Structure 1
Amino acid sequence: MSTFAVINPATGETVAEYPDATAADIEASLASAQSAYKEWARKTTVAERAALAKRAAELFDERKDELGAIINREMGKPLDQAAGEAEFSGAITAAFADNAEKWLADEVLEVEDGLKSFIRHQGTGVILGIMPWNYPYYQVARFAVPNLILGNTIILKHAAQCPESALALEQLFLDAGFPKGAYVNVFATHDQVSTIIADERVQGISLTGSERAGAIVAEQAGRELKKCVLELGGSDVFLVLDTADLDHAVEHAVGGRMENTGQACNGSKRIVVMDKYFDEFAEKFKAAIAGQSYEGGDFGPMSSAAATKNLAAQVQGAIDQGAEVLVGDNTPEGNLYTPSILTNITPAMDVYSQELFGPVAQLYKVSSDEEAIDLANSSPYGLGSVVICDDLERAEQIGNQLDVGMVFIGGAGLEGADVPFGGVKKSGYGRELGKGGMLEFANKKLFRFAG
């Protein structure tokens, strides 16, 4: 079997296989992207490139059902969620297009000597993107679009199980009017990725993936003195501290945990509840998780047999070490994993510091804000968080003390096309989305004029 194949996780059927790139393919991709940078990106304006992105946004929306069907068979996302991802990718693309001239405007400097001085944000060249399977369109859109508008060109290595969505994205950008070489898909092996990183034409690397993959890419990029942005794992906390509406808290805890069948880096994986609410919350949360329906489209199969096997092994390890299962039985049928809740977890257990990438929640009880903060910060990850607290000033003060990149107060799912996304600690570094994401791979070029 080749590296790149579509294996329907719902059936186990190998739908299609695609050959790995040859050395000649890799060289052609690098040459094409470098040529597009020199002949197109450096000679066009932000407004001209943003206009092409605007058309790409329209195509995401026009093709959302077709695009959704592709990732449904590649990684199992329910059809309505899959089409929704394509639609949101269009919204992200449109947001970058609409805000580009404002976000990339020259930054005038007030300098002591009075000389006319400003920073101009421009592209740096070819940027390599290494993207994951869990959001095949969204992750690519939030990386590639701002860089294309900025004036970079893209070589995109997608996940091995996403070759058809990878090709669909390349075609979408071509159909939007981006020239050949502006966005290039490559079916590169791990060794070929290392070759691309080392090539002098490549100026930066953005990876969304596992902690292990991030460490490897960061090491390779560091040897070549090239910037990288890493968006890695997460074990986000969902804090229920003080609320007059426990049903709202339960609803958002379920949504935060079950999004994308629990396969989201910033999913609400650790549900931490103040003791005075714990018993009532636990009963309602148990009922809500038990009520999730595969037939109703609440969740899909796990993305692959390997993902299912890994999750089941982690949960079994937790059970063996003394954790209690409130909902679920850890006996998947094929890649269909029953949504579950683990509790009575202690710091001595492996699962306490692991990321569970699937529909399994960890439920904790605390008796003070300080205990909640300590528990939240005990994770090696630091991506996002949710704080449910009717006292917004108290919620903000709690957020100040969380070692995370994002704090959502009052609800889960507050991501937006024009607000930054990223974390700290082993969740990686750098930001995507918003103005900050657009400037990650910018040349912040100084202009100074003699008096």
Structure 2
Amino acid sequence: MNIVSRNPANGKPLKTYRGHSPKQVGQKIAQTHKAWLNWKNTSHEERRKLLTNMASVLQTRKSEFAVLMAQEMGKPINQGVAEIEKCASVCEYYAANAASFLKDQLIETDASKSFVSFQPIGVVLAIMPWNFPFWQVFRFLAPALAAGNCGVLKHASNVPGCALAIEDVVHQAGFPDNVFQTLLVASTMVEKIIENPLIQAVTITGSTNAGKQVAQKAGSLIKKAVLELGGSDAYIVLEDADLEKAAEACVNSRIINSGQSCIAAKRFIIVKAVQKEFTKLFLNKMESKKVGNPLDTATDIGPQARVELRNELHEQVKRSVKAGAKCILGGNLPKGRNAFYPPTILTKVKPGMPAYDEELFGPVAAIIIAKDEADAIRIANDSAFGLGSAIFTADREKGEKIAATQLQAGSCFVNSIVKSDPRLPFGGIKQSGYGRELGLFGIHEFVNIKTVFVAEN
């Protein structure tokens, strides 16, 4: 099987990669397991040194990798540089904190000594998407290696160059051979890989449907899984919000990565009292964004990752308009052999429309009008998804209370765009998945939380 990467800006092939056969996959997993038998015994100091080296390699090669992402999946070049810098930061974070996160925790019982120990479990399979082809991998890889685990990667088929580049970074940083390997395989091989007895756990970032299939397979084998799936993040704008700042944040969140982010703002829920003023500001800011060559530093929005994904997005827009939504910006399919889609705004969005019920994975914004604050919260929670949400209000105390207790999502931000941070746990609820990445909770997902009880002599 060959894997061909294509430039979504012009549809031209970039490079052909030879895929791994089932036999080669089995051999690679066995090699990684063998590497783990030694890696699990390394000191925290050794792991810290290598994670720090990895951060340095990423910083040194960030321009190179940003170009690679722009070519393989269309990420605007400036955003690509920022992504690699974020990957370096997660390596540095776990280099600095993993030892304390994994330190034995003494528990007072009737034993002579009792404590909780955090032990690595083995080889973890990562199934990762194309939209953040480096960051999605490193936010799994850094804590996994820091905890003494090893990993194998099944990356999206349109970013094989990124997948192999990550393997090269691990090698260049000085990690032992085979602690991390890339498997160039089709999605049809994933179930067999999960079945391999040397695979101890699986983490996936992807669509809800893909997550369901992985969870079903992993569950049938009693293997731990972490699912970071789709989202339809709601951004609430209340009557007392700073509308200029709110509109700026909403637009920036909607178009990040050309709109292809699970935690990008997708549903904009505006209280009726400020709908006209906000919509005008939002429209002006969306119109000002430049669509173009992802290698141009002036570009805000590059192409969608693949033509078929762009076409699916357009169908969602057309079905929403047919059902009564009004398109006030964009909504036209560009000509040519490319995957571009214009920034688009839909108003009069109601339940039953794709723009209300489904995830729009591209630069398409759905504006939904709420009667008041309570109605806005109701609409925000009226979703199958629960990844992130945000609320904009001048009353910070009220915003904090709503975010903490009333919004149904894994991450709730006040007067800010939703974003992942190495220091904070990240993940969703409902159809957006379960489990957490990053922070203290992320490194504890793939360890044996072991009770040790020592009786009196």
**TM-score, normalised by the number of residues in structure 1:** 0.97
In the alignment, is residue 166 of structure 1 matched against residue 171 of structure 2? no
| Maintained 8 Å contact 1:404/1:424 | yes
Question: What percent identity do the matched residue pairs reach?
Answer: 37
Aligned match for 1:304, one of 282, 303, 306: 306
Aligned match for 2:113, one of 112, 116, 134: 116
Name the residue aligned to 2:445: 440
Question: Equivalents in 1 of 2:271, 2:241: separation in Å?
Answer: 13
Which deviates more from structure 2 when the two are superposed, residues 290-299 or residues 177-186?
A: 290-299
| Maintained 8 Å contact 1:8/1:76 | yes
Name the residue aligned to 2:389: 385
Cα deviation, residue 303, structure 1:
0.6
Name the residue aligned to 1:339: 343
Which deviates more from structure 2 when the two are superposed, residues 3-12 or residues 328-337?
A: 328-337
| Maintained 8 Å contact 2:263/2:418 | no
In the alignment, is residue 93 of structure 1 matched against residue 91 of structure 2? yes
Cα deviation, residue 122, structure 1:
1.4
What are the residue-to-residue correspondences of 1:172-191 with 2, within 5 Å? 172-191=169-188
Q: Summarize deviations over 1:313-354 as a string: whole Å, max 9, x none.
A: 110111111110011132234311110110111113233210
Question: Equivalents in 2 of 1:168, 1:447: separation in Å?
Answer: 40
| Maintained 8 Å contact 1:127/1:203 | yes
Question: Equivalents in 1 of 2:147, 2:241: separation in Å?
Answer: 46
Aligned length: 448
The residue type paired with residue 280 of structure 1 is E
Cα deviation, residue 297, structure 1:
1.0
Question: Equivalents in 2 of 1:75, 1:414: separation in Å?
Answer: 21
Cα deviation, residue 115, structure 1:
2.7
The residue type paired with residue 379 of structure 1 is S
Name the residue aligned to 1:132: 129
In the alignment, is residue 287 of structure 1 matched against residue 313 of structure 2? no
Cα deviation, residue 242, structure 1:
4.0
Question: Equivalents in 2 of 1:64, 1:266: separation in Å?
Answer: 23
The residue type paired with residue 441 of structure 2 is G
Question: Equivalents in 1 of 2:419, 2:26: separation in Å?
Answer: 41
Cα deviation, residue 414, structure 1:
4.4
Does the residue aligned with 2:177 lie in a helix, a strand or coil?
Answer: coil
| Maintained 8 Å contact 2:111/2:454 | no
Cα deviation, residue 397, structure 1:
2.3
Question: Equivalents in 2 of 1:289, 1:389: separation in Å?
Answer: 21
Name the residue aligned to 2:201: 204
Aligned match for 1:401, one of 400, 406, 426: 406
Which deviates more from structure 2 when the two are superposed, residues 120-129 or residues 387-396?
A: 387-396
Does the residue aligned with 2:225 lie in a helix, a strand or coil?
Answer: strand
Q: Summarize deviations over 1:250-283 as a string: whole Å, max 9, x none.
A: 1100111011000000100001111221110100
Q: Summarize deviations over 1:169-214 as a string: whole Å, max 9, x none.
A: 0010011111112001111223322111011111100000011111
Name the residue aligned to 1:7: 6
In the alignment, is residue 251 of structure 1 matched against residue 255 of structure 2? no
Cα deviation, residue 19, structure 1:
1.8
Question: Equivalents in 2 of 1:14, 1:160: separation in Å?
Answer: 13
Name the residue aligned to 2:295: none
Question: Equivalents in 1 of 2:419, 2:195: separation in Å?
Answer: 37
Give runs of ≥4 in structure 1 deviating > 3 Å.
none
**TM-score, normalised by the number of residues in structure 2:** 0.96
Question: Equivalents in 2 of 1:410, 1:5: separation in Å?
Answer: 42
| Maintained 8 Å contact 1:21/1:189 | no
The residue type paired with residue 59 of structure 1 is V
Does the residue aligned with 2:411 lie in a helix, a strand or coil?
Answer: coil
Name the residue aligned to 2:320: 318
Question: Equivalents in 1 of 2:418, 2:187: separation in Å?
Answer: 33
